[in-house]
A = this chain, B = another copy of it.
Amino acid sequence: MREVAIIGTSVTKCGELWETSFRELIVEAGIEAIQDAGIEGKEINAMYIGAMSTGSFIGQEHISSLALELSGLNDLYIPATRIEAGDASGGVALHQGYIAVASGLYDFVIVGGAEKTTDTVGGETTEILSSMSDREWEAFFGATFPGLYALMARYHMHHHGTISEQLAKVAVKNHYNGSLNPKALYRKEISVETVLTSSMVADPLHLFDCSPITDGAAALVLCPLDKAKEYTDTPIKIVASSQSSDTLSLCRRKSLDSLLATKKAADKAYKKAGYGPSHIDVAEVHDCFTIAEIMAIEDLGFVKKGEGGKAMDDKLTTLDGAIPINPSGGLKARGHPLGATGISQAHEIVLQLRGKADKRQIDEARVGLCHNVGGSGGTAVVHLLEAI
């Protein structure tokens, strides 16, 4: 397998983009990534696009062909492939794009993610989101994602002494980071009190413990590492790309305070890289709810199991902390455009490793991690990226 690099990246503004269609989001992200890579469209050999539920949101499946058409690349007759893995669709698309280049089959691959969630043709948004949980054993009985993550939060509190203030500190940190990110949906700082006095959605998760419904798109251009220097002075090497799956239903998992798919994907990634979490300078993790970030930093090995809450008290994960987490604002504040989220995470890490993250730049960031989860943990993807 060849080594693979990211040479181009882009992300659209995240938000409730009433004036922007799914189609416009795809085109904006795709063209900017190609321009950023400094390649011509005709050099692209394949396209992968992650999206969670375009059928239900906008009544459109088969978006791979649509994305190729809209990008004006259809004359190339290259393969365009859509990946769906709930809100890990983007991360899994990146994994597939990585395999396609690493295998030697294709040289230049564009990998995108997109979702238009705020106006839907197929029912109410929360209902559509439930389709990435177990429809028959969870959603039909009324369990929504806040409810499923609330179960994990309550378990974590009971077994590890985690408290609501610690969950709130995740949101406070991520809103602060988001305030420094012009592409973020939420750009206002909040306080612990803001979180704790917000409406209770699913006890113990308040409104501000939850990531928002978001529209957005993002894209990356990949190529073999040995060609990357021809296109950019700052290629970002994909040191490891690993994906693991677990049961779809929470009730059949072996753990409620860990996402084992995250642990397994991270273990594989660290093994491939030859180093562990202490080597990571910055990470974007899947904070669909505040408890998810706490479990993620434990499962990824940044802190021991059960010490994620304490890490918030100790400010370990702030921009100037020992392991800065979600400098982009994360799903919580940058926004969570489902199929685009995994690609947006990689976009942020690429900016950080290029030293181009502006006010939220982590000093001397050389190694970054991206962690994308589907549903309540049925899929997890971990990427390790390095500036070379």
Contacts and interface: CB of A to CB of B under 8 A. Distances in A.
A134 interface: yes
A375 B96 CA distance: 23
Interface in A262-291: 264-265
B378 A62 contact: yes
A363 to B, nearest CB: 34
Contacts of A260: 77
Which of A61, A64, A105, A136 gathers the greatest number of chain B CB atoms within 10 Å? A61
Nearest to A379: B65
A283 B164 CA distance: 62
A139 to B, nearest CB: 7
A122 interface: yes
Interface stretch (A79-87, A215-223, A232-240): A79-87
Nearest to A80: B245
Contacts of A244: 77-79
A81 B84 CA distance: 7
B132 A78 contact: no
A132 B62 CA distance: 5
Contact of A62 (B64, B131, B136, B252): B131
A23 B264 CA distance: 26
B105 A1 contact: yes
A254 to B, nearest CB: 8
Contact of A61 (B52, B95, B136): B52
A79 B23 CA distance: 29
A59 B103 contact: no
Interface in A27-83: 47, 52-53, 55-56, 58-62, 64-66, 68-69, 74, 77-83
Contacts of A249: 69
Nearest to A378: B65
A92 interface: yes
B252 A74 contact: yes
Contacts of A378: 62, 64-66, 69
A64 B50 CA distance: 14
A131 B61 contact: yes
A248 interface: yes
A374 B63 CA distance: 11
Given A61-B86, A85-B64, A247-B74, A99 B103 contact: yes
Contacts of A92: 79, 81
Interface residues of A, number: 65
A80 B374 CA distance: 11
A201 B137 CA distance: 39
A135 B120 CA distance: 13
A371 to B, nearest CB: 15
A247 B69 contact: yes
B247 A65 contact: yes
A27 B77 CA distance: 35
Contacts of A86: 61-62, 65
Which of A68, A131, A134, A244 gathers the greatest number of chain B CB atoms within 10 Å? A131
Contacts of A122: 55-56, 122-123
A133 to B, nearest CB: 8
Contact of A248 (B65, B102, B243): B65
Interface string A299-335: 0000000000000000000000000000000000000
Interface string A90-106: 00100110011011110
A379 B247 contact: no
B82 A95 contact: no
A366 to B, nearest CB: 26
Contacts of A248: 62, 65-66, 69
